[in-house]
Amino acid sequence: MFSQRGALAVLGAALVTLGIVHDAAAQQTVKIGAIYPLSGNAASAGGFSKAAIELAVDLVNNGNPDLASVPLADGKGLPGLGGAKIDVIFADNQGTPAAGQNQALRLITEEKVVALIGAYQSGITVTTSAIAERHGIPFLTPESVAANLTERGFKWFFRATPVAGDFARAYSDFLREQKAAGQKTGSIAIVNENTEYGNSVASVIKEQFAKDGLNITQAIPYSANTTDVQPQVLQLKEKNPDVVIFISYTSDAILYAKTMKDLSWKPSIMIADDAGFNDPSFVATSGTLVEGLVNRSSFAVGKPGSVSAVINELYKKKTGSDLDDPSSRAMQGMLIMADAVNRAGSTEPAKIQAALKATDLKGSQVITGYNGVKFDEKGQNVLASSLITQMQGGKYVPVWPKDKAAGELKLPYKGW
Amino acid sequence: MSSILLQVIISGLLIGAVYALFSSGLTLIWGMMNVINFAHGDFVMLAMYTAFLVWTVFGGGPAASVPIAAVVLATIGVLSYFLLVRHIMRGPMLAQILGTFGLALLLRYSAFWYFGANFRTLPDTLLGSPFVLGSIRVDAPRLLAGAVGLLVTLLLHLILTRTALGSRMLAVSEDATAAQLMGIRPEHMQAVAWALAAGATGIAGALIATFFYTSPTVGETLAIVAFVTVAFGGFGSVPGALLAGLVIGVIEAVSAFLIGPVYKDVIVYTLFVLVLWMRPQGLMGKA
């Protein structure tokens, strides 16, 4: 079995390499595949990520004079490849692991992409990156956080985003600080959607909290693609925990915000783990129902003229929405990939893999709030970090840690 | 019974009445023509967007959006019948299934193209605040949807069983050739059935939009429930859909509350399979 798979991988890699060498000679573009949910329940988030990736590609291909500190944004394309332009090819994972897998295969074998990024949902990143691994194509996930993704011994897999362990620690530190300041944190409930993302983040948070003496009293896993969340909210209402942590996608996040108001229940601290609660269409539809909601983000708009502010303006012009956290990470992912391809000076997957391994971006060179980008031997970015934000007046404002805060934390949770 | 459990049951009944409301159109089409409308969920989606447009363009609430959505969807229903269904009915069974499935995808991706993938919601204050009875809260939009759900289902049932139009429709569904000999035009009756079914679906969608999110794929999420409700209640039976909707709503709510939300589907579908095993025609379908 193993040798058969190995032989297939070698054969696949050889075929792909042949195809790419042929392609690179024929044209002055580098094809990078991007697999995102463009239909299905996460299509809204996928669409925003797509726009952010297009913006990243536009920066590299056409440049922007206001963003001199961002690598490759000087309008010269990829100088390492004679000024080649990036041609990003989007594929729709339809919100299912099987569709994502098929699209990865299509991008690699038919479109002959030299590298892949994606795939938003952790459960789909699992299957798509396995295809890339088998074909020897570098795969970078800018946003999927499930812990096991980097524990599979993959050689071609890289992850730029902070992972569950990072923000479980952030939540724990944050909550213990609030406890010391006199907030009620005696009982904590975790409500999580039950695919790879929700389950893995929930279990990492449980471990971290147990270590830190925070008391989780209720765990409610549920299916994200649901028509009704009233029973979940009523389970919360019955036990009445002080703190609730939601790990949800967009459609369910909207239903929770509405249903909590309908059934008139709220905790003293409500935390949302990014994802659905950071989707611009959640903020637009339900922002006024969750005033004081605590969230995490790797992106915060800085002072006018700063890199984040300029990028946010460009993004707003393109989509009509502020750049949200997952989309900012998708954009950063494409910039990391562009940087690696440029340094590789080649479209050969093995050289791009080597360049990714040697990535060394400083905090000042990235557009997100990361401290930089540097991958460890498992492919995890060790300089990834996130801040705690709070919904204030229909917008997320960074409030913690204090040195990165732009606003005052206001507790208890207000809601509607 | 603890008051919170009572709240769970009431919540289940309300969502169940809504299930019944958006399933009645599906069961009606089946009962009339033995055609499964796979575009049903996407009809609901179009009605939800209609309600959304009525709100954003004219600032109108359900009083305006419900009749407008009913008319818009009835028109779409009649068009679907004359342009598509009438033709595929002559083809093999598979053509009928894939035909309405194709219509579903056409509608869904048209919505993607026109409205984008973003989620929309109507303002939650559209219908005022919830009714509070002691510790029990009943959300106004859900109560309205539930009440109208009961009313529309009852009305459809009366039209089918108590009016001359209903008799003509039933005649066509039982034997189109014989009905034709009696001077009834089957095509007219079938078009009326599509108008009624799609119109009822329009009412359902406009009401659901007041408390649910609207997105191009929302029909997918809702359609599964509609198919289960219709099969459970008995294909073609409007009262059956009502009973099944309520039963499913309550069982879902109670099992999700007592055992856990991830188990509710297991319980509902186990029951579903058991009922079909013992009564393949569904709770109120004809054998």
Question: Residue B212: which of A168, A107, A47, A229 has the closest Cα?
Answer: A229
H helices present in A33-154, as ranges: 43-62, 97-109, 122-135
In a domain, B181, yes or no: yes
The distance of A298 to chain B (nearest Cα, Å) reads 22
The distance of A289 to chain B (nearest Cα, Å) reads 9
Shared-domain flag, residues A118 and A233: no
Shared-domain flag, residues A284 and A308: no
Using a CB–CB cutoff of 8 Å, tell me whether B264 touches chain A.
Answer: yes
Shared-domain flag, residues A120 and A89: yes
CATH of the domain at A126: 3.40.50.2300
Residue numbers of the domain that contains B177: 3-278
Q: A-chain residues within 8 Å CB-CB of B216? A: 39, 43
Shared-domain flag, residues A108 and A212: no
Secondary element (H or E) of residue A333:
helix A325-344
Of all residues in chain A, the one with the smallest CA distance to B210 is: A258
Using a CB–CB cutoff of 8 Å, tell me whether B122 touches chain A.
Answer: no
- Distance between CA atoms of B214 and B164, rounded to whole angstroms? 38
Total of domains in chain B: 1
Using a CB–CB cutoff of 8 Å, tell me whether A289 touches chain B.
Answer: yes
Shared-domain flag, residues A92 and A236: no
Inter-chain CB proximity A227 and B142 less than 8 Å: no
Mean pLDDT, range B157-186, rounded to an integer: 89
- Tell me the backbone φ, ψ of residue A318, rounded to 5 degrees: -80, -40
Using a CB–CB cutoff of 8 Å, tell me whether A318 touches chain B.
Answer: no
Tell me the per-residue pLDDT of A104-133, one tens digit each, with 9 for 90 and over: 999 999 999 999 999 999 999 999 999 999
In this predicted model, which residue has the larger pLDDT, B238 or A136?
A: A136
Mean pLDDT, range B232-238, rounded to an integer: 88
The percentage of residues in chain A with a pLDDT greater than 70, rounded to a whole number, is 94
The Cα diameter of chain B in Å comes to: 61
Inter-chain Cβ pairs, chain A and chain B, closer than 8 A: 113
Question: Residue A342: which of A79, A88, A114 has the closest Cα?
Answer: A79
Using a CB–CB cutoff of 8 Å, tell me whether A363 touches chain B.
Answer: no
Where b means 16+ CB within 10 Å and e means fewer, A14-26 reads eebbebbeebbee
CATH of the domain at B213: 1.10.3470
Using a CB–CB cutoff of 8 Å, tell me whether A46 touches chain B.
Answer: yes
Inter-chain CB proximity A228 and B142 less than 8 Å: no
Mean pLDDT, range A64-75, rounded to an integer: 88
Using a CB–CB cutoff of 8 Å, tell me whether A394 touches chain B.
Answer: no
Shared-domain flag, residues A182 and A269: yes
In a domain, B87, yes or no: yes
Inter-chain CB proximity B119 and A285 less than 8 Å: yes
Q: A-chain residues within 8 Å CB-CB of B139? A: 262-263
Average pLDDT of chain A to the nearest whole number: 89
Inter-chain CB proximity B120 and A281 less than 8 Å: yes
Q: B-chain residues within 8 Å CB-CB of A251? A: 119, 213, 215, 218, 221
Q: Is residue B90's pLDDT more than 70?
A: yes
- Distance between CA atoms of A62 and B120, rounded to whole angstroms? 34
Total of domains in chain A: 2
Q: How confident is the model at residue A299 (pLDDT cuts 50, 70, 90)?
A: confident
Q: How confident is the model at residue B284 (pLDDT cuts 50, 70, 90)?
A: confident
In a domain, A382, yes or no: no
Residue numbers of the domain that contains A89: 2-162+304-373
pTM for this entry: 0.81
Q: ipTM value of the model?
A: 0.86
In a domain, A360, yes or no: yes
In a domain, B287, yes or no: no
Inter-chain CB proximity B221 and A232 less than 8 Å: no
Residue type, A269: I
In a domain, A412, yes or no: no
In a domain, B109, yes or no: yes
Q: A-chain residues within 8 Å CB-CB of B7? A: 234, 263
Where b means 16+ CB within 10 Å and e means fewer, A183-195 reads bebebbbbbbbbb
Shared-domain flag, residues A139 and A58: yes
Question: Residue B24: which of B158, B137, B136 has the closest Cα?
Answer: B158
Q: How confident is the model at residue B248 (pLDDT cuts 50, 70, 90)?
A: very high
* Alpha-carbon dihedral sign for residues B9, B13, B19, B23: positive
Cβ-based neighbours of A409, under 8 Å, separated by 6 or more? A390, A399, A400
- Distance between CA atoms of A279 and A327, rounded to whole angstroms? 9
Inter-chain CB proximity B119 and A38 less than 8 Å: no
DSSP-assigned beta bridge partners for residue A78: A84
Q: B-chain residues within 8 Å CB-CB of A220? A: 260-261
Shared-domain flag, residues A8 and A144: yes
Shared-domain flag, residues A128 and A175: no
Map residue A160 onto helix, strand or coil.
coil
DSSP-assigned beta bridge partners for residue A30: A86
Using a CB–CB cutoff of 8 Å, tell me whether A230 touches chain B.
Answer: yes
Shared-domain flag, residues A204 and A285: yes
Q: Is residue B267's pLDDT more than 70?
A: yes
3-state secondary structure chain B: CCHHHHHHHHHHHHHHHHHHHHHHHHHHHHHHHCCCCCCHHHHHHHHHHHHHHHHHHHCCCHHHHHHHHHHHHHHHHHHHHHHHHHHHCCCCHHHHHHHHHHHHHHHHHHHHHHHCCCCECCCCCCCCCCEEECCEEECHHHHHHHHHHHHHHHHHHHHHHHCHHHHHHHHHHHCHHHHHHCCCCHHHHHHHHHHHHHHHHHHHHHHHCCCCCECCCHHHHHHHHHHHHHHHHCCCCHHHHHHHHHHHHHHHHHHHHHCCHHHHHHHHHHHHHHHHHHCCCCCCCCC
User: Starting at the edge strand that comes first in sequence, how are the strands of the sheet with A243-247 ordered?
Assistant: A216-222, A188-193, A243-247, A269-272, A294-297, A387-392, A395-400
DSSP A322: P
Tell me the per-residue pLDDT of A168-219, one tens digit each, with 9 for 90 and over: 999 999 999 999 999 999 999 999 999 888 999 999 999 999 999 999 999 9
In a domain, A256, yes or no: yes
DSSP-assigned beta bridge partners for residue A32: A88, A115
Q: Is residue B121's pLDDT more than 60?
A: yes
Mean pLDDT, range B113-120, rounded to an integer: 88
Least reliable range by pLDDT among A24-38, A94-108, A305-319, B103-117? A24-38
In a domain, A212, yes or no: yes
In a domain, B162, yes or no: yes
Shared-domain flag, residues A132 and A278: no
DSSP A346: S
Q: Is residue A7's pLDDT more than 70?
A: no
pLDDT, position B1 = 58
In a domain, B215, yes or no: yes
Shared-domain flag, residues A11 and A108: yes
